[in-house]
Amino acid sequence: MSNAFKAADILLPHDIEMEKWSVVACDQYTSEPEYWEKTEQIVGNAPSTLRLILPEVYLESDGVDSRIADIHKNMDKYIADGIFDEYKNAMIYVERSTADGVRAGIVGAIDLEEYDYRKGSKSSVRATEATVVERIPPRIKVRNGAPLELPHIMILIDDAKRTVIEKLSSKKDTLKKVYDFELMQGGGHIAGYLLGEDDIVEVTAALDALGNADEFNAKYGLENEPVMLYAMGDGNHSLATAKEYYEQLKRENPDKDMSNHPARYALAEIVNLHSEALRFEAKIGRASCRERV
């Protein structure tokens, strides 16, 4: 099994107000337009991911096409203004502090060839809830022709021995800190640390070991079942949209080599489901909220 989680080319803004740049993207605010009105007031005219996303509360609004057009214009403007630094072949160790504790994760790229959200999937990356296909088309409109991709994806790994993510905490003081700030509207605090090449090699090796087929089957009392190494935690429809857009490109370009096409990958954060900072509430059906940094 090839490892679905890889290093990515990651853009981060510089010399801006990060508290206004990063907005929380969470389905729980779909029925709370006042949350987004308050966010508008906080952001004002500052550069912000608020200008680059289509919050779910507006998915079925009358002005959705106009909003999508503005998103693409804003992406082009931010690139032209040169507000981003690019980190090539990167992974970022993330710590987000909330009232529930410190949730650690690693941001990188998920290979969409290894993901299938359909029921009964045997892929290494799988959905954990039903995908509402009606939510995908407007999201594809945002993605179609967009020069930037913004993550709203948290993927869980079952790492009871904490071999992949947690060990990075002890060495974070030796890593380059690429952001460290308070999130708006009670979102907590977030900090990100750029992993070195050796760290990325160690993370990849630990994930490979976690994906051992024999150990996977023994652990869950299965027999000859394909490994499910990555389970969707949040952002199910964002990843499904990325998948559908990639499959659409492949259909439209049957003779083109898509093996290294950017659309084959989606930026995501992997988190250990054993993290003490994760709360699982069955009635709500959400493990956490993702922030767009």
Kindly list the domain boundaries of the chain, sorted by start residue.
Answer: 5-292
Q: What is the mean pLDDT of residues 90-104?
A: 94
- Calculate the CA dihedral of residues 283, 288, 290, 291 and round it to 10 degrees: 120
pLDDT of residue 26: 59
Contacts 24+ apart (CB under 8 A), 38-45: 38/185, 39/184, 39/185, 42/184, 42/185, 44/20
Between 238 and 162, the more confident residue is 162
Structure confidence by residue, pLDDT tens digits, 181-208 = 999 988 899 999 999 999 999 999 999 9
Indicate whether this model's pTM tops 0.85: yes
pLDDT of residue 238: 87
Mean pLDDT of the chain: 90
Instruction: Give the least confident one: 127-136, 195-204, 242-251, 267-276.
Output: 127-136
Q: What is the mean pLDDT of residues 260-286?
A: 83
Inter-helix orientation angle 136-143/236-252, to 10°: 60
Whether 22 contacts 183, CB under 8 Å: yes
Between 25 and 61, the more confident residue is 61
Between 245 and 290, the more confident residue is 245
- 145 sits in the region (left: phi over 0; alpha: psi -120 to 50; else beta) called left
pLDDT of residue 62: 82
